[in-house]
Structure 1
Amino acid sequence: MTAAQTRAVAEYLPARQIDAHAEWRDPWDNQRPLLLEIGFGNGEHLAAIAAQRPTWGCIGIEVHTPGVGSLLLQLVEAGTDNVRIVHDDAVTWLKALPDALLRCIIIQFPDPWPKKRQQKRRLIQPDFAAVLCRLLQPGGELQLATDWADYAGQMLTVLNATPGLQNASPDNGYVFRPDNRILTRFERRGQRLGHTVYDLCYRRIP
């Protein structure tokens, strides 16, 4: 963790943090559509999409402190004020949120846990998919991306079988990159290594 990230967390996080252990209270008093990015990494994508959608309320969840510091530095430099941060475990916090809260959920390049014995730790499992579906408003969108073919296949299997979610692809497969998804440094590095990225998109149906 850099000195700048450490200072950013100390100086800027308190005003932008959502308490994961308190009862949910909308930071924007229910006046904005809400977007959530789960596991925002270094914050590059969340900072960009928040700038693209200044009338939205954007929430990011990240457990790793250096990533939180990195995002805060980007927000302060850009003067972006429509982002709030949950610096805690995603699953526990999400389970406590009210139904139909979110217009959009984004999960990019979650930990693939590649070893067979580790795969039960993967984020996209049937129970968690049901939580994501419950949190989306009717017509709301779930966007995912991974560069692990095996995990992409698991995502398709789990999400295609989740009641209330409809694959945006006509053949229930992968989709083209969404317009809002910027090419991050992480993804550019993967491209140089020859990695294929799999994009998935689902909509909440009644």
Structure 2
Amino acid sequence: MSLPTTPPDEPLDESGAPAPADAADPGEGAEGQHPHPKSRIRSFVVRAGRMGTGQIKALAELGPQFVIPFKPEPLDYERTFGRRAPVVFEIGFGMGGPTAQIARTLPDHDFIGCEVHEPGVGALLKLIGEQDIPNIRIFQHDAVEVLDAMIAPGSLAGVHIYFPDPWHKKRHNKRRLVQSPFIAKLVKHLAPGGYLHLATDWEPYAQQMLEVLSADPDLVNTSTRADGYADKPDYRPLTKFEHRGLKLGHGVWDLVFKRKA
């Protein structure tokens, strides 16, 4: 399964051009995974992007093994991973660095990541090959359609949504992924006791996330802090973007809620 190590692919901005040196890493979270402006919930908007040679090679060599074709039928986890293990679903893994690290930190869990941005899919496949990570599978498809068609209700041990687009302008807030109907959909796919772990670096969005999750009758907040936010779980690595932000005094907010048993 291992791929020869190649030099890191050049970071790209959303247009596909090389990103400036001080730009946020496009792969350090759920960037590009936002709801569509139309009424139907979607987990993304399409972004342009240029593929590096390492990503192209990984897609060709490892894609058939680790990328799951979208089919409107329930996914057999045991057949997919070759074992029985708790399954965690991630929406928008960007370039996949944190996803790969979490999968290595939690080898007794299996991870399904959804990302429509092809360079991100190629980048995660490259990491899977270089680091020999067996417990990740990928959908290059809208996460909402995957949930509706292929993820059985009550079957997930957890859901991760890290740094989704905050849609900063007030008139665009309705485009944010974390809204009550979408959270209700996620909760239905969680097993009793399963968790939702969200993270954002935009405080107004963190406040909205906390309000939406707290209002769901089937969820309970695991935090014991007065502000309702969670301490960063050990399994979630700090991203390069977070390191830069923390040095500048910016905040990051984690939220961990569980489905009631």
When normalised by structure 2's length, the TM-score is 0.75
In structure 2, which of residues 147, 163, 167 is the aligned counterpart of residue 113 of structure 1?
167
1:181 aligns to 2:236 (yes or no): yes
Aligned residues of 1:38 and 1:61 also touching (Cα < 8 A): yes
What is residue 31 of structure 1 aligned with on the other side? 84
1:74 corresponds to which of 127, 132, 137:
127
SS at match of 2:168: coil
AA in 1 matched with 2:56: T
* d(CA) in 2 for partners of 1:193, 1:62: 29
Query: In structure 2, how many angstroms separate the alpha carbons of the residues matched to 1:98 and 1:82?
Result: 19
State the alpha-carbon separation in 1 of the partners of residues 242 and 125 from structure 2: 21
- Gaps of at least 5 residues in structure 2 are 1-50
The one of 47, 54, 60 equivalent to 1:4 is 54
Looking at structure 2, the residues matched to 160 and 95 of structure 1 have their Cα atoms a distance apart, in angstroms, of 24
1:160-182 deviations in whole A, cap 9, x for unaligned? 00121101123471011111111
Alignment of 1:156-171 (within 5 A): 156-170=210-224, 171=226
Q: Indicate which of 86, 91, 98 corresponds to 2:144.
A: 91
Shift of 1:200: 0.4
1-side partners of 2:71 and 2:171: how far apart?
A: 31
Which residue number in structure 2 is paired with residue 15 of structure 1?
A: 65
TM-score, structure 1 length as denominator? 0.94
Q: Report the RMSD for the aligned CA atoms in angstroms.
A: 1.5
In structure 1, the gaps of 5 or more residues are none
**1:27 to partner: Cα distance:** 3.9
Question: Kindly, what percent of the aligned residue pairs are identical?
Answer: 48
Structure 1 residue runs of 4 or more that deviate by more than 6 Å after TM superposition? none
User: Hey, what's the Cα distance between the residues in 2 that align with 1:109 and 1:147?
Assistant: 7
* Cα distance in 1, alignment partners of residues 185 and 257 from structure 2: 14
Report if aligned partners of 1:28, 1:57 keep a CA contact under 8 Å in 2: no
Aligned residues: 206
Question: More strand by proportion, 1 or 2?
Answer: 1
Q: Shift of the alpha carbon at 1:19?
A: 2.1
Task: Give the structure with higher Rg (CA).
Answer: 2
Q: CA deviation at 1:117?
A: 1.9
Deviation of 1:45 after TM superposition, in Å, equals 1.1
Q: Aligned equivalents of 1:193 and 1:3: distance in 2?
A: 34
